[in-house]
Structure 1
């Protein structure tokens, strides 16, 4: 691991800095009820296939329709039912209805005068910008890269390189903080950054982060 001093910190957004007030599981239950079908997949099944549809769709609404239809078809159901569930879900999702996770505001404020700060998030601008605004973070970062739209999605190194270029920094002097081993940690390593993993859910440990913490608040005293 490089010992260059850190001048740049990049953050993931979803389930690292913010989370929805209404969970995906809750909205899925409401969508199934609205369509009048028994639940036939879980929020975890949706998350597992989300990135598969990032490169081939132009909006989050289109992504959900394609994803839910594929899940339905793979399970022997009519893909049209999956699209109906997606439309019901889309009608209920408010992207600005989010809250900061514990420690997020304190860490961002503490880092503001010491580091160049950026966001690298897998998600479209029309979805992610309202989250930043709803959490009061829309002016907290010098750059935001919408991976999957501005570039290929994480774990591809391209979004990290784009953020560093915009911040006039180099990978050897940067750290990325995220909740996903598969996209955040693996992507940071592919781009040559140091990684901080703050797990938000159970995940098979296929890659070893440079640093791991149980909560974002622990970053008030950076390990680097």
Structure 2
């Protein structure tokens, strides 16, 4: 493991004054917890790929406000079991989802690199925020359950502001809450398109946390494979946000494109 550089002053960090982070699969090992919950429900890991595909399809409907979160959870469970030929009524799907959710919550845990990174960021004088696509009460419960309730200066949750990543408005909301300009803020997340590229298009410094070390030709943003690598990137290698007569305010143009 690469050791973090010595804690810098905010002057040494240049224009960077705050770091925003995605929560699930960035700080919280949500995938491991979700696998545990499904395994407790069906007794095997073999169905995990089907659960992942079903979750992606149904969660996308929640994020775009097509469906309520609780309804999404039940319908996802119905669709998952239907893929194996079992048709569940709403009551039985809700019962099984409650069992799965309880098992998953017992397995909630941060990645090993989360606390060291957060401690370094805070000691460096940086402000911290979470930007997450999630229902409000559920996400706040999750953040508190792993001991992070008092760590962040701001929690920006999609359900509370009505838009989700990668909409520039959610990133600008974070910057406004922190009292900073987009070019003074970094955002780190595990989703290349939703987090890193979304933040970059909004005028922030988007960083992709590529824990799986997958190759993606669209990854034209700073990339790390562990939060252990973030301090050194912030101190030594982070490029400046583009400026100039045509892109001095890139976040304003991105916002105009989506009507914000």
TM-score (norm 2): 0.70
Bigger Rg over Cα: 2
Task: Label 1:21 to 1:161 Cα distance change in 2 as closer, same or farther (>3 A).
Answer: closer
Equivalent in the alignment of 1:184: 195
| Residue 56 of structure 2 corresponds to residue 56 of structure 1 | no
Task: Label 1:88 to 1:178 Cα distance change in 2 as closer, same or farther (>3 A).
Answer: same
Alignment partners' CA distance in 2, 1:39 and 1:81 = 20
- Residue 57 of structure 1 contacts residue 63 of structure 1 at CA under 8 Å; is this kept in 2? yes
**SS where residue 112 of structure 1 aligns?**
helix
Match of 1:25 among 31, 35, 58: 35
1:64: Cα distance to partner? 1.4
1:202: Cα distance to partner? 7.2
Equivalent in the alignment of 1:164: 175
1:206: Cα distance to partner? 6.1
Alignment partners' CA distance in 2, 1:83 and 1:6 = 50
- Residue 69 of structure 1 contacts residue 80 of structure 1 at CA under 8 Å; is this kept in 2? yes
Equivalent in the alignment of 1:127: 138
**Where is the strand percentage greater, Structure 1 or Structure 2?**
1
1:6: Cα distance to partner? 1.0
Alignment partners' CA distance in 1, 2:109 and 2:48 = 29
**SS where residue 156 of structure 2 aligns?**
strand
Equivalent in the alignment of 2:206: 195
Equivalent in the alignment of 1:91: 99
- Residue 20 of structure 2 contacts residue 187 of structure 2 at CA under 8 Å; is this kept in 1? yes
In structure 1, list runs of 5 or more residues that go unmatched. Answer: none
Equivalent in the alignment of 1:109: 119
- How well do the aligned residues superpose, as a CA RMSD in angstroms? 3.1
Alignment partners' CA distance in 1, 2:199 and 2:78 = 32
Task: Label 1:43 to 1:119 Cα distance change in 2 as closer, same or farther (>3 A).
Answer: same
TM-score (norm 1): 0.80
Equivalent in the alignment of 1:67: 76
